[in-house]
Chain A
């Protein structure tokens, strides 16, 4: 199945490539990429449907509902790395970087 690589999708892939092995939360991804929930979640859903992203419910503290987390599958990581060059060419990597909080962007 073909995945449409819109600028927003590339932003999400870039955000996942930062510490790719770590699980990420929806709201954190929204803050890092600057995407609203109405744009971000359809992208996450498409990536998950294509087995590029794995999802998991975080076993949180007792009494608190679990939180949904996302990270690349091995296929997803390969796909993102293969497309990261295209993202860098269009300057989207820099856009994503500029959207990071000041401390993180400098790091």
Chain B
């Protein structure tokens, strides 16, 4: 079994493990199909597409749950809603950083040596996510203020982390 197929199987097994109950059967179905795909790279692309599909399905399940919850709890105070929004924004930002790290890992397999290159690391894990955070904050600030604040907070935490890193190591 080649490295891309091994990575594909690992990725889909992780997706099956982490997926909520509503999506788990689908994730298991996608994992099972992996055995019938010819070609290691085709298997990896299948797994990436499947993971994206499960992520979207999970997001829609959560959205529906949140909508139901907010309809039920119309009495929920504004502070609670704001805290929920900030948390959601921070979670989204963390998910983006996770995706950036995963992408870097996959690129590292496709182009050996890239993963150990410091500029690739900083570009993938810092520069691009930070640019996305700033853009998302600006776009969401008026309509979804708490979510924008959550994203901004996570961006600031990451920037602080970099500043501390440079202060200690340079």
Chain A 1-48 interface residues, beta-carbon cutoff 8 Å to B: 25-27, 30, 36-39, 41-42, 44-45
Q: Are A68 and B29 in contact (CB under 8 A)?
A: yes
In the complex with contacts A36-B45, A42-B56, A45-B57, A68-B50 CB distance below 8 A: no
Q: Are B32 and A41 in contact (CB under 8 A)?
A: no
The distance in angstroms between the C-alpha atoms of A39 and B57, with both chains bound, is 12
Q: Are A41 and B26 in contact (CB under 8 A)?
A: yes
B36-61 interface mask toward A, CB cutoff 8 Å, 1 = contact, 0 = none?
11000000011111101110110000
The distance in angstroms between the C-alpha atoms of A68 and B52, with both chains bound, is 19
The distance in angstroms between the C-alpha atoms of A38 and B30, with both chains bound, is 10
Residues on B lying within 8 angstroms of A by beta carbon are 25-26, 28-30, 32-33, 36-37, 45-50, 52-54, 56-57
8 smallest A-B Cβ distances: which pairs? A38-B49, A68-B29, A37-B49, A41-B53, A27-B33, A38-B52, A37-B50, A36-B49
Q: A66-B32, A67-B33, A68-B29 are in contact. List 19 more A-B contacts (CB 8 A).
A: A25-B36, A26-B29, A30-B46, A36-B46, A37-B46, A37-B47, A38-B48, A38-B53, A39-B53, A41-B30, A41-B49, A41-B57, A42-B53, A44-B26, A45-B26, A55-B29, A68-B26, A68-B28, A68-B33
